[in-house]
Amino acid sequence: MTDKKERKPRFRAVKAYANEEFLASRDARALRILAEYLEPATRFERLGIKDTIVFFGSARIASPERAAAELAAAESGEGDLERARTKVDLARFYEATRELAYRLTLWSKGMEGKEGHDRRFVVCSGGGPGIMEAASRGASEARGANVGLGISLADVEPANTYVTRSLAFEFHYFFMRKLWFLYLAKAVVVMPGGFGTMDELFEVVTLIQTFKIRKRLPIVLFGTDFWREVVNFEALVRYGTISPEDLKLMHATDSVDDAYAYIVRELTSHAIGNPGPSL
C-alpha cells in the first residue's frame, strides 16, 4: 500500500555566515571588525585607489550660503545672533577647504595615465557635513572621485551628496574608520574643529612622533589664529612635554595658495613614484 501521509519538509539549518542574529551578536564582533577591514580594502583595490589626501575639520562649520541664511534669520529674531555671526566668520574655512580640495583634485587628475590606471592622492573626508562636505564638494566640482569614510552615530547625517557613491562607506567602529583615514593617507589637512578633529590631529601626530607611521606624512594646520588660541603648542615645548622638533610635524597656514604649494611640493618630492600600500 502507498503511504498517503504527507511528509514534513526536512529541516535545513542556517549557515553561519547567513545567520544575521549571530552576525549581530557579541560573539561575532571579530567578524564585524574584520569585515570593516576587508570590504573597504577590496573596494579600494577594485577602484584603483592607491593613496589619499585626508581632510579633517568640524561638521558644524556651514557653507557661506547656509551661514548667511542663518544670520538673516537671527537678525529677524529667529536664533542666536552672536552664534550666527560666528558661523558667518567660520564659513571662510568651508570655502578654503572647498577650493583646496578642488585644486588638489585637478592636480592629481593630471597624473592619470602617467602611472597606470591607479587613482593617486584622492581627496578623503569623513563624508559628513561641514568641512567634510566642503572637501567632497571641491573634489566633485573638479570632476574627481572622493572618499567618504562615514560613521554610524545617532545624530549624524548620512553621507553628504558630494561623496562619490562607489567610495561612500559607513563604519560602526571608530578605530577601523581611523585605520582607513591614515593607512592610505599621503597628506593631511586639519581645519578648525572640535573634539573629533582634536582627536584625529593628536592621534596622527602621536603616531608619527612614536614612529608607528614611518612614511612621510605632511600635515597642514589651517587657521593659525584658531589653533594658536585653542592649543598652546609652544607651552607644551616650554613645559618639556614635547620637543621643539615636534612642532615641525605641522605646517601652519592661513593661505590656500600656501597649503596647496606645500602639499604638492611634499608629494612631488616624496610620494610620486611611491604608490600606497599593497592591499
Render pLDDT for 4-37 as a digit per residue (tens, 0 to 9): 666 777 888 999 999 999 999 999 999 999 999 9
Is the distance from CB of 220 to CB of 253 less than 8 angstroms?
yes
pLDDT of residue 2: 55
pLDDT over 70 (residue 190): yes
pLDDT over 90 (residue 138): yes
pLDDT band with cut points at 50, 70 and 90 for residue 274: confident
pLDDT over 90 (residue 76): no
- Whether residue 8 lies inside any domain: the answer is no
Torsion angle in degrees (nearest 10) through CA of 263, 227, 160, 74: -140
CATH of the domain at 236: 3.40.50.450
Q: Could you give the percent of the chain with pLDDT greater than 70?
A: 94
Q: Which of 145-149, 161-165, 267-271, 275-279 has the lowest mean pLDDT?
A: 275-279
- Whether residue 180 lies inside any domain: the answer is yes
Helix axes 174-183, 29-46, angle to 10 degrees: 30
- Whether residue 78 lies inside any domain: the answer is no
pLDDT of residue 11: 83
Q: Which residues in 138-155 are b (16+ Cβ under 10 Å) and which e?
A: bbbebebbbbbbbbeeee
What mean pLDDT, rounded, does the chain reach?
Answer: 92
Q: Strand order of the sheet with strand 146-151?
A: 168-171, 146-151, 122-125, 52-56, 185-190, 219-222, 250-253
Instruction: Give bridge partners of residue 277 from the DSSP assignment.
Output: none
Q: Cα–Cα distance between 275 and 119 in angstroms, integer?
A: 10
More confident residue, 6 or 147: 147
pLDDT band with cut points at 50, 70 and 90 for residue 115: low
Give the cell for residue 113.
Answer: 595615465
- Whether residue 248 lies inside any domain: the answer is yes
Summarize the confidence of residues 96-102 as an average pLDDT.
98
More confident residue, 277 or 66: 66
Is residue 119 classed as helix, strand or coil in its secondary structure? Answer: strand
- Whether residue 83 lies inside any domain: the answer is no
- Whether residue 50 lies inside any domain: the answer is yes
- Whether residue 170 lies inside any domain: the answer is yes
- Whether residue 16 lies inside any domain: the answer is no
* Number of separate domains in the chain: 1
Summarize the confidence of residues 130-136 as an average pLDDT.
98
Is the distance from CB of 223 to CB of 191 less than 8 angstroms?
yes
Summarize the confidence of residues 192-213 as an average pLDDT.
96
One-character DSSP codes across 91-108: HHHHHHHHHHHHHHHHHH
pLDDT over 80 (residue 276): no
pLDDT band with cut points at 50, 70 and 90 for residue 159: confident
Note down the domain range covering 50.
41-62+92-270
Summarize the confidence of residues 213-218 as an average pLDDT.
95
Is the distance from CB of 121 to CB of 53 less than 8 angstroms?
yes
Q: Cα–Cα distance between 17 and 66 in angstroms, integer?
A: 45
